Amino acid sequence: MPLVTARQLLDEAAKGSYGVGAFNVNDMEQIQAIMAAAEETKSPVIVQASRGARAFAEDRYLYHLMLAAAELHPNIPMALHQDHGNSFDTCKSAIELGFTSVMMDGSLKEDGKTPSTFEENIEVTRRVVEYAHPRGVSVEGEIGVLGGVEDGHGAGGSGLEHLTDPDQAVEFAERTGVDSLALAIGTSHGAYKFTKKPDGSVLKMDVLIAIHKRLPHTHLVMHGSSSVPKDLQDIVNKYGGKLKQTWGVPIEEIQLGIRHGVRKINVDTDCRLAITGAIRKVFAESPEKFDPRDYLKPAREAMKKVVAERMNEFGQAGHSGDYSPISLAEMAKGYQSGKLDTRPSLATSR
Ligand SMILES: [Zn+2]
């Protein structure tokens, strides 16, 4: 299937009351793992690349790998999404390359570390929306600041320091017209999210629920939402790794979010752990091996397994055949006519 926008996938997910996993990629094996999982579970899927991934893989390689995936999986609706764009130029270059969806993370300044002001965030995000929508490309914004650092991106800290304020979320949606909105509700990027199983004191699902009530047409996004399961940590450590014990976001909390407007769930750490555990196992058990396929194949299989699990848990499994693709040109018309407008003042009167 041609690449479609994340907006189309998320609109369909809202109709069907399920969530769509957005899995990060850096190389061919990760893309193959995701597509195999999507094929097996019949899932629509968002494949996303950070700035670090685009630099690592090189833009042209990455884009052509995604075209190959689309060609080989004609029945899977898939979007190619820029994760954490740090500036207008990063988002513009992604759109020029062929990404069908971009995140403008204006919650941080262009350095990707320093929290920005509310007005700065609105300004840069609105500029990206004004560039993207006439080209049919969807835009995710972020308000509030997540904890942790991943790929050199993040403010650090616990994730509770800059929680999203519901009033600001409504004003942000109104003044930017974003398709989807990432919220800071206590989650962090990376493996070290929580020091114990999270409860309501560190994971603020009530904030998310309050925002969904006021912004029913803006798709909500959970970042830093790997579950960091103990069995994946244990495999890494059993074969020589040194991970400190840590807790991610429990699946049941994500499922609660999905019942309250969460349509996109970002998962990266779980895939990284699955790959690393599988490679460590081969190295530890068969130190005589030196053909990269001997460890990349099990690594790819381990990632496929965790992605397929998440697809079942998020509810996107079984939905790949529900709809046909909407072209970017048609999406652009929808934005122009106001049909796709999510701004609370306009969308509620639809
Ligand atoms: Zn993120």
* Average pLDDT of the segment spanning 271-275: 97
pLDDT score for 16: 97
Rg, Å, the chain Cα set: 19
Which residue, 246, 250, 183, is CA-closest to 215?
A: 183
Ligand 1 centroid to residue 282 C-alpha, Å: 31
Q: What is the DSSP secondary structure assignment for residue 133, as one 8-state letter?
A: G
Say whether 151 is catalytic: no
CB atoms within 10 A of CB 89: 10
The domain spans of the chain are 6-347
Q: pLDDT category, 347, cuts 50, 70, 90?
A: low
Ligand 1 centroid to residue 105 C-alpha, Å: 9
Going from the C-alpha of 161 to that of each of 92, 185, 195, 239, the distances in angstroms are 30, 10, 16, 36
Ligand 1 centroid to residue 349 C-alpha, Å: 32
Q: What is the pLDDT of residues 53-98, one digit of tens each?
A: 999 999 999 999 999 999 999 999 999 999 999 999 999 999 999 9
Ligand 1 centroid to residue 58 C-alpha, Å: 20
For the cut 90, the answer to whether the pLDDT of residue 192 exceeds it is: no
For the cut 70, the answer to whether the pLDDT of residue 348 exceeds it is: no
| Phi, psi angle pair for 78, to nearest 5° | -140, 145
Confidence (pTM): 0.96
CA distance 105 to 159: 16
CA distance 277 to 255: 26
Q: Are 190 and 233 in contact (CB under 8 A)?
A: no
Cα 345 to chain centroid distance, Å, stands at: 27
Residue written as token pair 């994730």: 159
Q: What is the pLDDT of residues 118-145, one digit of tens each?
A: 999 999 999 999 999 999 999 999 998 8
Ligand 1 centroid to residue 57 C-alpha, Å: 19
Q: Max CA-CA distance within the chain?
A: 67
Active-site pick, 11, 59, 83, 167: 83
Among 3.20.20.70, 3.40.190.10, 2.40.420.20, 2.60.40.420, name the CATH number for the domain at 6-347: 3.20.20.70
CA distance 194 to 159: 10
Residues with CB under 5 A from ligand 1 (ion): 223
Ligand 1 centroid to residue 147 C-alpha, Å: 10
